[in-house]
A = this chain, B = another copy of it.
Amino acid sequence: MIVKGDPSALRTMNRTSILRILRRVGPISRTQLAELTGLSPASVSGVTAELIAEKLLVEQSIGEAGSSGGRRPIFINIDYSAHFAIGLKLSEHRLEAVLTDLSLKVLTHLTEDLTEHDPIRVTMQIAALCKKLYKRAKVSPDDLIGIGIGLSGVIDAVNGIAVHAPLLGWKQIKIAEMVSQKTNLPSWIDNDVNSFAAAERLFGHAKHANSFIAVAIGRGLGAAIICNGEIHRGRDGGAGEFGHNKILLNGRTCSCGRQGCLEAYTTEPALLGLFLERFPEHRGISIPDLVQLANAQHQGAISVLETAGALLGQHISYLVNAFNPELIVFGGEGAELGDAFFEPMRQSLRSLAFDGLATELPLIVVPWANDDFTPWAQGAASLAVQHAFDTGVLLKNA
């Protein structure tokens, strides 16, 4: 957020203000834009002309534009299909890539094995994959606004550094800069949860929310806290780590090495572990199997999902009491767990949270199943798109 500056800072604010409104309330006329932004029609004309010249906006001559005795409005919309973004999801053994337009619609996707973890090699593989991607999509690199990279771990998103990414064995790797140099495209990096939250904020269920919480349930459990439209990262970038709330002093061992973390009871590997402890005869069971068992009224499966769901609901209730968010979106592979998990979660949350804070709180589980690509990669792309909308500037050749 801008707090000082010269007159051009004003322009920046007004550009982003107009972009934000267009993103939220679709194609509207310059006059409506003036009303909604509080700017004068003259300024709106000026700013929109600039943005149209940069191909960030287009005029949409919708025939249906009615008139009640006056000149018809010319609708303005964001030009979602004039620029493109690349999203990369880095997993331990997988490199997933999507090419999207500015609405995050996936135009092309590719997946490769990731066999080496050496940052330089990974950078080269990324660069090659990006090239393949935009060639296949027949998109000019000049129309790419940048690359977003999502990976789990501790990320310094502001400086583009993977501070500690245990799955890749990375510490203090300036991966964004490395990718930028190899690809000649601006790059951004963030962890899974924040990438997911960015996508939800831009075009997802949180499009109209100023403050919300995004919860990702996958191999880990974490949240992104969005305060006033901005991700709250905290002093060490550790905000949202409620998955490491300690619920038992000598409980199950968590991926973080400590014992008794909430995460050790509510993620997919944890659920399988908890189920197998009670039903070792189901060795080799997968999450879809477990969900199916629960749906088939297997009491053990139901109980495992129910217990974990209720436990998660309890800790979400703590988040709700502390933040009073406008809504909560749930994503990650855990979204597959379905109602057997999420209904107990909702009930527990609603009954435990402070009066009124949860009764009308939307709790949205984002579907995750997709044969072609994961929303993780789409979320990564949103890091680049987010930058364009938040600054109102396309940093080509940065």
Query: At the interface, yes or no: A187 with Cβ under 8 Å from chain B?
Result: no
- A321 and B245 within 8 A (CB): yes
Segment touching B, from A10-18, A133-141, A189-197, A278-286: A10-18
Known A-B contacts A241-B324, A323-B234, A324-B235; the reply to A13 vs B4 at CB < 8 A is: yes
Q: Check B241–A357 contact: CB distance below 8 A.
A: yes
| Contact between chains at B5 and A10 (CB < 8 Å) | yes
Whether the pair B323, A239 counts as a contact (CB closer than 8 A) is: yes
Q: Which residues of B contact A75 (CB under 8 A)?
A: none
Q: Which chain B residue lies CB-closest to A319? A: B322
Taking a contact as CB atoms under 8 Å apart, the answer to whether B354 and A241 are in contact is yes
Size class of the contact patch on chain A: 35 or more
Residue A339 at the chain B interface, CB threshold 8 Å:
no
Closest chain B CB from A67 CB (angstroms): 29
Decide if A322 touches B10 in the complex (CB within 8 Å): no
B324 contacts A239, CB within 8 Å? yes
Of the candidate stretches A116-124, A223-231, A300-308, A367-375, the one touching chain B is A223-231
Q: Is A352 an interface residue (CB 8 A)?
A: yes
A1 interface contact, C-beta 8 A = yes
Shortest Cβ distance from residue A107 to the other chain B in the assembled complex, whole angstroms: 32
Question: How far is it, in angstroms, between the C-alpha of A361 and the C-alpha of B236 when the chains are bound?
Answer: 11
- Cβ–Cβ contact B211 & A317, under 8 A: no
Q: Are B3 and A17 interface neighbours, CB within 8 A?
A: yes
**A1 and B4 contact, CB distance less than 8 A:** no
Q: Smallest Cβ distance from A162 to chain B, in angstroms?
A: 17
Specify which chain B residues have a CB less than 8 angstroms from the CB of A319 in the assembled complex. Answer: 322
Whether A357 pairs with B13 at a CB distance below 8 angstroms is no
Q: A204 at the A/B interface (Cβ < 8 Å)?
A: no
Q: For the complex, is A205 an interface residue (Cβ under 8 Å from B)?
A: no
A315 to chain B, nearest CB (A): 7
Chain B residue contacts of A108, Cβ below 8 A: none
- CB-CB contacts below 8 Å: A215-265 with B: 223, 225, 227-228, 230, 232-242, 244-246, 256, 258
Identify the closest chain B residue to A227 (Cβ).
Answer: B227
Q: A96 to nearest B CB, angstroms?
A: 28
Interface string of A284-322 (1 = CB under 8 A from B): 000000000000000000000000000000110111011
B235 contacts A227, C-beta separation under 8 Å: no
- Quick one: which of B1, B211, B223, B237 contacts A232, CB cutoff 8 A? B211
Enumerate A17-42 residues with CB–CB distance to B below 8 Å. 17, 37-39
Contact: B225 with A322, CB < 8 Å? yes
A2 at the interface (CB under 8 A from B): yes
- Nearest B residue (CB) for A327: B235
How far apart are the CA atoms of A38 and B3 in the complex, in Å? 10
CB distance from A57 to the nearest CB of B (A): 17
Q: Among B13, B37, B238, B354, which residue has its beta carbon within 8 angstroms of that of A2?
A: B13
B3, A13: Cβ atoms under 8 Å? Answer: yes
Q: Given the complex, which residues of B lie within 8 Å of A10, measured CB to CB? A: 5-7, 9-10
Question: Min CB distance, A388 to chain B, in Å?
Answer: 17
Q: Which residues of B contact A1 (CB under 8 A)?
A: 1, 3, 228
Question: How far is the CB of A138 from the nearest CB of chain B, in Å?
Answer: 38
- Collect the chain B residues with CB atoms within 8 Å of residue A16's CB: 3
Distance A9 CA – B7 CA, assembled complex (angstroms): 10
**Is A70 on the interface with B (CB-CB < 8 A)?**
no
A154-187 interface with B by 8 A CB criterion: none
A323 CB contacts on chain B under 8 angstroms = 225, 232, 234, 239, 322
Further pairs besides A3-B17, A211-B235: 12, Cβ < 8 Å: A2-B13, A4-B39, A5-B10, A211-B232, A228-B230, A236-B356, A238-B354, A238-B356, A238-B357, A242-B321, A245-B318, A245-B352
